[in-house]
Structure 1
Amino acid sequence: MEKFFKLKENGTTVKTEIVAGLTTFMTMAYIIALNPNLLTGFSQNGGKGLWNGIFLATCIASAIGMFVMAFLANKPFAMAPGMGLNSFFAFVTAQIVSITGLSYTESFQTGLVIILIEGIIFVLLSVLNIRDKIVNAIPLGVRLGIGPAIGLMLMNIGLGSNCGIYSDKGGPFFVLRDFFGALTAGFAKISMGSGYSMMVLTVITMFVGLFTIIILSRYKIKGSVIIGMLVASIIYWVGEIVFFHTNPFASLSSASWVPQFKDMAENTLFKINFKGAAQIGWFTIITLIVTFCIIDMFDTIGTLVGTASKANMLDKDGNMPNMKEALFADAVGTVAGACTGTSTVTTFVESASGVEAGGRTGLTALTTGIIFLLCMFIAPIAAIIPAAATSSALIYVGILMLSGLKNIDFNDITQTAPVFIMLLAMPVSGSIGHGIGLALITYTVIKLFTGKAKDVSILTFILSVIFLVKFFLVA
Structure 2
Amino acid sequence: MEISSSLKNKNFLEKIFKLKEHNTDVKTEVMAGTTIFMTMAYILVVNPMVLSASGMDYGAVFVATALSAAIATFFMGILANYPIGLAPGMGLNVFFANTIVLQMGYSWQFALMAVFIEGIIFILLTVTSLREKIIECIPLNLKFAVTAGVGLFIAYVGLQNANVVVNGSLGNIHDPLVVLTLVGLLITGILVAKNQKGALLISIVAISAIGMIFKLVALPKGIMSFNIPSLKPIFLQAFSVDKSEIFSLNMVIVVFTLLFVDLFDTVGCLVGVAEKGNLLDENGNIPNVKQAMLADALGTTIGALLGTSTVTSFVESASGIGEGGRTGLTAITTGVLFLLSLFFAPLFVAIPTQATSAILIIVGVMMAGSLSKIDFDDFTNAIPAFITFLFMPLMNSIGEGIIFGILSYTILKLATNRKDEVNLSMIVLSILFIIKFILLG
The two structures have a TM-score, normalised by structure 1, of 0.86
The one of 30, 50, 64 equivalent to 2:71 is: 64
Q: CA deviation at 1:471?
A: 2.8
Counterpart for residue 212 of structure 1: 187
Counterpart for residue 33 of structure 2: 21
Q: Is the 8 A contact 1:277 1:285 kept in 2?
A: no
1:463 aligns with 2:398: no
Counterpart for residue 5 of structure 1: 17
The one of 265, 272, 290 equivalent to 1:324 is: 290
1:175 aligns with 2:145: no
- State which drifts further: 452-461 or 51-60: 452-461
The DSSP-based 3-state class of the residue aligned with 1:316 is coil
Counterpart for residue 221 of structure 1: 196
Letter in 1 for 2:134: I
- Tell me, which stretches of 5 or more residues in structure 1 are unaligned? 100-106, 164-173, 183-187, 189-195, 242-246
Counterpart for residue 278 of structure 1: 244
Instruction: Give the 3 Å change call, closer, same or farther, for CA 135–309 of structure 1 in structure 2.
Output: same
The DSSP-based 3-state class of the residue aligned with 2:87 is strand
Q: Is the 8 A contact 2:150 2:398 kept in 1?
A: yes
Counterpart for residue 333 of structure 2: 367
- State which drifts further: 231-240 or 7-16: 231-240
Q: Distance in 1 between matches of 2:333 and 2:46?
A: 21
1:260 aligns with 2:229: yes
Residues 41-61 of structure 1 deviation map (CA, whole Å, 9 limit, x = unaligned): 243xx4xxx111111111111
Q: CA deviation at 1:95?
A: 4.2
Q: Is the 8 A contact 2:28 2:324 kept in 1?
A: yes
1:296 aligns with 2:236: no
- State which drifts further: 200-209 or 113-122: 200-209
Q: CA deviation at 1:74?
A: 0.6
Letter in 2 for 1:239: F
Q: CA deviation at 1:369?
A: 0.3
The DSSP-based 3-state class of the residue aligned with 2:105 is helix
Residues 266-302 of structure 1 deviation map (CA, whole Å, 9 limit, x = unaligned): x221121353462486111011111111110111011
Counterpart for residue 3 of structure 2: none
Q: Distance in 1 between matches of 2:166 and 2:384?
A: 26
Counterpart for residue 361 of structure 2: 395
Counterpart for residue 205 of structure 2: 230
Counterpart for residue 191 of structure 1: none
Counterpart for residue 89 of structure 1: 96
Instruction: Give the 3 Å change call, closer, same or farther, for CA 302–268 of structure 1 in structure 2.
Output: same
Q: Is the 8 A contact 1:76 1:359 kept in 2?
A: yes
Counterpart for residue 353 of structure 1: 319
Q: Is the 8 A contact 1:201 1:239 kept in 2?
A: no
The DSSP-based 3-state class of the residue aligned with 2:315 is coil
Residues 399-445 of structure 1 deviation map (CA, whole Å, 9 limit, x = unaligned): 11010011111111111101111122100122111110010111111
Q: Is the 8 A contact 2:84 2:317 kept in 1?
A: yes
Q: Distance in 2 between matches of 1:367 and 1:393?
A: 19
The DSSP-based 3-state class of the residue aligned with 1:268 is coil
Letter in 1 for 2:44: I
The DSSP-based 3-state class of the residue aligned with 1:240 is coil
Counterpart for residue 47 of structure 2: 35
Letter in 2 for 1:67: F
Letter in 2 for 1:3: K
Letter in 2 for 1:236: G
- Tell me, which stretches of 5 or more residues in structure 2 are unaligned? 1-12
Q: CA deviation at 1:134?
A: 0.8
Instruction: Give the 3 Å change call, closer, same or farther, for CA 179–328 of structure 1 in structure 2.
Output: closer
Q: Distance in 2 between matches of 1:257 and 1:96?
A: 37
Letter in 2 for 1:225: L
The one of 400, 407, 410 equivalent to 1:441 is: 407
The two structures have a TM-score, normalised by structure 2, of 0.93
The DSSP-based 3-state class of the residue aligned with 2:23 is coil
Percentage identity across aligned positions?
Answer: 42
Counterpart for residue 415 of structure 1: 381
Q: CA deviation at 1:129?
A: 1.1
Residues 130-176 of structure 1 deviation map (CA, whole Å, 9 limit, x = unaligned): 1111111112211121100011101110111x12xxxxxxxxxx322
Q: Distance in 1 between matches of 2:426 and 2:100?
A: 33
| Deviating 4+ runs (over 6 angstroms) | none
Instruction: Give the 3 Å change call, closer, same or farther, for CA 470–277 of structure 1 in structure 2.
Output: farther
Residues 188-246 of structure 1 deviation map (CA, whole Å, 9 limit, x = unaligned): 5xxxxxxx86xx222222122222222222222210001111111122112326xxxxx
Q: Distance in 1 between matches of 2:267 and 2:247?
A: 30
Q: CA deviation at 1:472?
A: 3.5
Residues 297-319 of structure 1 deviation map (CA, whole Å, 9 limit, x = unaligned): 11101100111100111122211
Superposed CA RMSD:
2.0
Q: Distance in 1 between matches of 2:220 and 2:367?
A: 37
Letter in 2 for 1:249: L
The DSSP-based 3-state class of the residue aligned with 1:336 is helix
Counterpart for residue 248 of structure 1: 218
Counterpart for residue 167 of structure 1: none
Q: Is the 8 A contact 1:144 1:318 kept in 2?
A: no
Q: Distance in 1 between matches of 2:182 and 2:330?
A: 27
Letter in 2 for 1:386: P
| Paired residue total | 429
Q: Is the 8 A contact 2:44 2:66 kept in 1?
A: yes
